[in-house]
């Protein structure tokens, strides 16, 4: 079945343009509600959101959809995506919804769905919901219409859960930490959790106004965080994205540390303590070859999946791994969470920092990444990757690599972009190959 609405991470798009309209959001609520109404119990859905202006509109539309088919709604307000996953499971809800476009700018929004187990929906569930979106709706009888209520202590519940992932014998006293919350969903919970664990916290990106989410801040733009870490002589900087499911770190020298280095640290630490399962970790095809070589040197493996943290989680569950993630900073530790959690991942990094006694600049750079370059080409429609000249450019690049590097070309699942990535021993060759393929894609598009 060709997907009309769902991409690699739920439904996403520009607000007030299909599929991100109030009308479609209401229909998603009705379709998802109908799909998950099973049995005679009173059904419940948990809804959280980030801080973008359109969240109010989308939240109201989803409430209308769910209640119209007889589901009760629990509203969390602005909360991280992993908090919605956690509370869906702990509140014994039938479904969880996060209204967020993650790291995108405020004009976009999205709908992410979680099952009663707190995991993102499977492809089968998403296809089933798509099939119901344009079907006639079976509305609840007047006396069976759902009710909606807000939970006031949701932030406290999540902070408590996050802190429980941090080793009990450790504290963050003596550490000066700069945290950039991207003016997003974690603007209250992240600084609070770090402060309660004893850190000297310097907060950034904690004044959301509906339109400044991810705007020159957070994990996708760390320049201000790097400056603040240097200016305040902080021990480390933590950057979250708009819905706080990804993490990028800045060391004490102001250098950016990506998800590959963080996964290497977390996995090797867990392996040293005898807590790593699966004999390695799970990452996507975008992770650097340097990570794979580092793990091999530790006697560990790297299991690769296609791009998308949901596919990482699926592989972790199927193969018995407990650490996985993406270079972009989605890091999943299944002992503590069912999805990527930037704050939980940050606490694991901080625990390693405290125990090692080393400066972050020494601790967080475990391998030298191979030269890697990613460029995006926007396209309006069609299938540019099927163009003969594009395929010829790709074949030529693969021949030039001769097994010494990798090439990953794919269509984005969240934006109208073709992503072209290459890595290898020679940085000039990598750049030339990427530019050659991008030029071919532009002409085809």
Asked if 88 contacts 32 with a C-beta cutoff of 8 angstroms, the reply is: no
Helix axis angle, 189-196 relative to 154-163, nearest 10°? 50
Packing angle, helices 123-133 and 22-36, rounded to 10: 120
Angle (deg, nearest 10), helices 342-356 and 154-163: 30
Phi and psi dihedrals of 7, rounded to 5? Answer: -110, -150
Closest CA to 242 of 48, 423, 411: 48
Phi then psi dihedrals of residue 279, to 5 deg: 75, 20
Per-residue tokens: 181: 């919350």
Catalytic residue among 102, 219, 287, 328: 102
Cβ within 8 Å of residue 289, ≥6 positions away:
369, 370, 405, 406, 423
Q: What is the phi/psi pair of residue 122, to 5°?
A: -75, 165
CA max distance for the chain: 68
Number of neighbouring beta carbons within 10 Å of residue 356 = 13
For this structure, is 102 an active site residue?
yes
Asked whether the beta carbons of 64 and 136 are under 8 A apart, the reply is no
In order of 299, 396, 432, the CA distances from 401 in angstroms are 26, 9, 12
230 close to 204: Cβ distance less than 8 angstroms: no
Cβ atoms of 162 and 193 closer than 8 Å? yes
Q: Can you read off the two tokens belonging to residue 253?
A: 């020298």
- For the annotated catalytic residues, the residue numbers are 102
């Amino acid at each position: 079945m060709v997907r009309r609405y769902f991409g690699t991470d739920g439904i996403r798009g520009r607000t007030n343009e299909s599929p991100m309209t109030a009308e479609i959001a209401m229909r998603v609520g009705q379709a998802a509600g109908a799909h998950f109404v099973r049995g005679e119990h009173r059904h419940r859905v948990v809804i959280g959101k980030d801080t973008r202006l359109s969240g109010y509109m989308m939240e109201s539309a989803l409430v209308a959809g769910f209640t119209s088919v007889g589901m009760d709604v629990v509203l969390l307000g602005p909360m991280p995506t992993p908090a919605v996953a956690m509370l869906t499971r702990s509140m014994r809800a039938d479904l969880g919804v996060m209204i967020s476009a993650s790291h995108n700018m405020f004009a976009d929004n999205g709908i992410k769905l979680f099952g009663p187990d707190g995991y993102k929906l499977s492809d089968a569930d998403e296809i089933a919901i798509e099939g119901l979106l344009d079907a006639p709706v079976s509305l609840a009888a007047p006396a069976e219409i759902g009710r909606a209520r807000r939970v006031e202590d949701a932030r406290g519940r999540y902070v408590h859960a996050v802190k429980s992932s941090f080793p009990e014998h450790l504290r963050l006293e003596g550490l000066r930490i700069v945290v950039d919350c991207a003016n997003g969903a974690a603007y209250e919970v992240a600084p609070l959790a770090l402060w309660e664990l004893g850190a000297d916290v310097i907060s950034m990106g904690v004044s959301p106004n509906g339109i400044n989410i991810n705007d020159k801040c957070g994990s996708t733009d760390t320049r201000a965080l790097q400056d603040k870490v240097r200016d305040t002589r902080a021990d480390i900087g933590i950057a979250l994205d708009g819905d706080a499911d990804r993490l990028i770190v800045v060391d004490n020298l102001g250098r950016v540390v990506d998800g590959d280095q963080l996964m290497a640290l977390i996995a090797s630490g867990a392996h040293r303590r005898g807590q790593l399962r699966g004999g390695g970790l799970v990452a996507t095809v975008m992770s650097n070859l340097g990570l794979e070589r580092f793990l091999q040197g530790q006697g560990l493996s790297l299991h690769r999946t296609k791009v998308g943290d949901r596919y990482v989680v699926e592989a972790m569950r199927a193969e018995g791994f407990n650490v996985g993630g993406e270079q972009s900073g989605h890091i999943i530790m299944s002992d503590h969470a069912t999805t990527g959690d930037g704050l939980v991942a940050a606490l694991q990094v901080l625990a390693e920092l405290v125990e090692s006694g080393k400066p972050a600049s020494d601790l967080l750079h475990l391998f030298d990444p191979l030269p890697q370059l990613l460029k995006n080409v926007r396209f309006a429609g069609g299938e540019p990757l099927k163009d003969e000249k594009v395929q010829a450019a790709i074949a030529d690049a693969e021949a030039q690599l001769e097994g010494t590097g990798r090439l990953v070309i794919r269509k984005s699942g969240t934006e109208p972009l073709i992503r072209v990535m290459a890595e290898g021993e020679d940085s000039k060759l990598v750049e030339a190959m990427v530019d050659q393929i991008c030029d071919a894609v532009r002409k085809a598009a």
